[in-house]
Amino acid sequence: MTNKITEIFHKIEDSFKSSLKGGEENLSVLIRWWGLVGYLFFYFVIEKLIIFCDIQIIDIIFSSFGIIYFSWHIYALIKCSPKKPKLSKEEKQKLRSEAIHNAPKAFMRKLFLQESISKWNPVKMEIVTDLLFVAHFIGYLIN
């Protein structure tokens, strides 16, 4: 039992270190495990502890821990996100002309719900969610 626990903590430590190096950690691991699990933990555990605890120093410590965690998560997401290649003017013009040429077909597919109306960048959505959590925990520091 203790071997499994130490193995889990070793995997967590390796994931954390590779995310700090940038580009080595898989983005889906950052989003699913570090993001989703972090949101659930902070909402259902830390948030409830802050609400039920009347000692202000403990509230400040828990809030600071949340701010630091989600700030690190934003940093790791930015470092590990795939970089867009630089395009020349000719390539940009070619992409624009293809987009204009395919626009009526894409509109019809979206109209008949065969493709998504909008495409969300998962990294930007995670960053926005992290900023929401950071602002929420800063609210506890201010009050």
pLDDT tens profile 106-143? 888 888 887 777 777 888 888 999 999 999 999 988 87
Quick one: 122 exposed, middle or buried, by C-beta within 10 A (0-12, 13-18, 19+)?
A: middle
What pLDDT score does 25 carry?
A: 60
pLDDT tens profile 72-91? 889 888 888 877 788 888 88
For tokens 């495990």, the residue is 33
Higher-confidence residue of 2 and 109: namely 109
Which of 11, 132, 119 is closest to 73 using CA atoms? Answer: 132
For tokens 């609400």, the residue is 51
Q: Rounded to whole angstroms, how far apart are CA atoms 61 and 45?
A: 14
pLDDT tens profile 22-52? 655 677 777 778 888 889 999 999 999 999 9
Cβ atoms of 130 and 74 closer than 8 Å: yes
